[in-house]
Amino acid sequence: MPRKKKKEQITIKSSESKILFGTVLFVAGIVVMVSPFLLTQSNLFKTISQFFGYSAIPWGISLLYGSLFLLFKSRKFISSRQFVGIFLFSICISTLLSFWQQPEQLANPEALSSSGGEVGKFLHISLNGVFGSAIEIFIILIFLILAFSLITGTTLEQIRDFVEDSIPEPGQNKSKKSSWLLSVLNKFIGTKEGDDIKIQTENEALDDNQTEPYIESSPIETERKLEEILHRDDYLHTSHNVAPNVKVSEGEPNEDEPQAPKYTDWIFPNIDILQEKEVQKQDEKLYKEKALVIQRTLMNFGIQSRVVAIAVGPTVLRFSLSISTGIKVSKVKNLSNDLALALASQTASIRIEAPIPGTSFIGVEIPNPTPNFVYTKDMIKKLRQETDKYELPLILGKDITGKTTIKDLGKIPHLLVAGATGTGKSVAINSLLAGLLMTKTPDEVKFIMVDPKMGVEMGMYNGIPHLLTPVITDVTLVTNALEWVSGEMMRRYTQLKQTHTKKLSEYNAKMGFAAMPYIVVVIDEMADLMLRTGMEVETKIQTLAQMGRAVGIHLILATQKPTVDVITGLIKSNIPGRMAFAVATLMDSRVILDEGGAETLLGNGDMLYKDQTTPKSLRIQGTFTSTEDTENIVNAVKSQVKEEIEYSSGLTNAIENGPDEITGGSHTQRDPDFSKALEIVILTQRASASFLQRKMKIGFNKAARIIDELYEAGAIGPDEGSKPRKVLVHSASEILGGEDTDDFE
């Protein structure tokens, strides 16, 4: 015969008593809240009104909210934090209503009913008697702000940042406008800092000691003609006294001069367009049960242990395990499969971190049965509170303790993203790009995106002003694009040398605006690129990875095939930043991270991150950026551009025609100073980049480009090492044809 369930004994702590007291408190709250409006109908309402005044409304709400703690077992929609906030708010309202009353009115019961009542009178007289009126109102305002923080969940830091952002900094807009006006004035005045800097090269001394050139005219006549060429009116466009932003030739801007910002009134997209996060309640009782399972399992194998802490991450639980002295750590690590069996892990194995960095504990990591994923809105909200800390912020996600993890690509300085198919690589790249688009203007950062999947992943970014060229989908054209980036890198080094700066941030600070934007090269699938082009692309990536950091050129490379023929040793040695998502084997994990661990990840954004600043890999739950979030961000960026996007003509031509055809060959693509250089070479019978650099007062890159054009045109011979190039023509008309040229025979 089944045993009857024993009835609960009714005590002061029983559920029946709690419901009874809660109901009484609920009714009392309603009575107190409506008393100011019904004081003429009952002596009870009149008494309550005299005691509380109009502050009876918040006091009644406090009683109603407090009754919920007794009426309901679940705490989903109530919290003690909010109750304290409502209580503080009631005190502040009572005091504030009495603060505005005249001293003689405080003795009138009817006046008290229309103000803060006896409670407000007592609080006001107590504070005013100790601090005075000025300090009293200040204290009330402070407690009101604190009550608002407790009720709404808004932190005091967020309130401070809101107030700080609402107050414009004195002279902020003025400084931006003055720097812009200064660049405009320089355009007309014709002055520029660093005009008198002369570029020196290692080869200059060698070229000065060349053999005596063959000159058909006398030295005096040669010098006279050379002066005529250098001071000819049409040469003034390329002299060293050129004003900023003056065009070298019609339709072609001077690349050696910094351009003024174009998007001065840029507005970053609002975070309200992003998806709200979904939160699941955590079961602490279940976690403690699993901790006991771990201890009992290790005890069965003769290991005395104790779980000292449980870190609840977004998708992973980490149990900090303390073991007895004398037990090898490897013995615990070898029991990972046994622990997975005892814990009924959702995956085939669990990850054991021995030890946890900075502690003397062993970490046992298992999947969280109630995961809370990391959403972009939450990360962007955190990032915008500390944007000034980062040059190029990358929102990675939250670590195993729930701490927000944001890294700076400018310090990493290159990033490798790898993992098996469907583990979250493309979502991670969209998250990284979202963080940059939400915090950086098109004047501050530019992108070159490569998507071999015919633009399926990155095609939506076409049309944003941050792009230097439309998303590249043809793998065979990537080599040309990387070649152009290498040339841009050397051009930037020349500009840094001329301004005596060591890195891009110093150069922009010296100019007063973002004169040189960061360039981020994003390659979504590197395996296809390496298999088709191989060593050629690897060499270019290696060059950019070694030298690109100082001039603001950074790489983000992604692949779903983490093998040694894709992620080669040369690439790994120059890319310290690694994001490893779930992989199939231990070997793949070692290729990415140089250590195991990625083979035990859960997928869906679960990753291990490592760079030169982290001694061991960090387990992070990556940021989830949905397709809708990405589209909303891109559309918000595009909506600010009213005119057609101007892509980089140099990069577009390099992609279509290749770098060789840009600098060599045809007459229509020659440098505007080609004819002047040709006349100088024929007159002096000397042809070298450093010689033209000194005589024409131009940069070394431009001089070298003109030498290449002269060689392609057949005016000079090939480079023969230490020997000078031979001049093969005696008249400019042999190269320029029927154009009007001077004959120096």
Write out the binding residues. 419-426
Give yes or no for a contact between 68 and 18, defined as CB atoms under 8 angstroms apart: no
| Residue 551 CB-density burial (10 A; 0-12 exposed, 13-18 middle, 19+ buried) | buried
Give yes or no for a contact between 529 and 450, defined as CB atoms under 8 angstroms apart: yes
Tell me the H-state helices in 100-171.
Answer: 109-113, 117-131, 133-152, 156-166
Q: Tokens 């998250």 correspond to what residue? A: 431
CA atoms of 583 and 603, how far apart (whole Å): 9
CA atoms of 587 and 30, how far apart (whole Å): 68
Q: Which of 375, 418, 682 minimizes the C-alpha distance to 571?
A: 418
Residue spans of beta strands (DSSP E) within 391-470: 393-399, 404-408, 415-418, 445-450
CA atoms of 219 and 416, how far apart (whole Å): 60
Q: Which uninterrupted H or E stretch holds 521?
A: strand 518-523
Q: Tokens 């046992």 correspond to what residue? A: 364
State how far Cα 263 lies from the chain centre: 19
> Tokens standing for 173?
């807009």
CA atoms of 170 and 178, how far apart (whole Å): 14
Give yes or no for a contact between 257 and 246, defined as CB atoms under 8 angstroms apart: yes
Q: Which of 198, 204, 183, 184 minimizes the C-alpha distance to 240?
A: 198
Per-state percent for the chain, helix, strand, coil, to nearest 5: 50, 10, 40
Report cis status (omega within 30 of 0) of the bond before 213: no
Q: Which of 483, 481, 463 minimizes the C-alpha distance to 523?
A: 481
Other Cβ atoms within 10 Å of 635 Cβ, number: 14
Pairing of strands 553-559, 577-580: unpaired
DSSP for 263-301, please give it. Answer: -TT--PPPGGGSPPP------HHHHHHHHHHHHHHHHHT
Give yes or no for a contact between 415 and 409, defined as CB atoms under 8 angstroms apart: yes
Q: Please give the span between the terminal C-alpha atoms of the chain, in angstroms, as a whole number.
A: 128
CA atoms of 55 and 91, how far apart (whole Å): 8
| Residue 310 CB-density burial (10 A; 0-12 exposed, 13-18 middle, 19+ buried) | middle
Report cis status (omega within 30 of 0) of the bond before 672: no
SS3 452: coil
Residue spans of beta strands (DSSP E) within 535-669: 553-559, 577-580, 606-610, 618-624
Other Cβ atoms within 10 Å of 43 Cβ, number: 8
SS3 447: strand
CA atoms of 9 and 106, how far apart (whole Å): 50
Pairing of strands 415-418, 553-559: parallel
- Amino acid type, 512: G
- Going by the DSSP 8-state scheme, the letter that residue 393 receives in this structure is E
- Amino acid type, 269: P
DSSP for 146-159, please give it. Answer: HHHHHHH---HHHH
Instruction: Supply the angle between the helices 478-498 and 700-713 in degrees, to the nearest 10.
Output: 130
CA atoms of 526 and 514, how far apart (whole Å): 31
Q: Which of 438, 430, 484 minimizes the C-alpha distance to 461?
A: 430
Binding region for ATP: 419-426
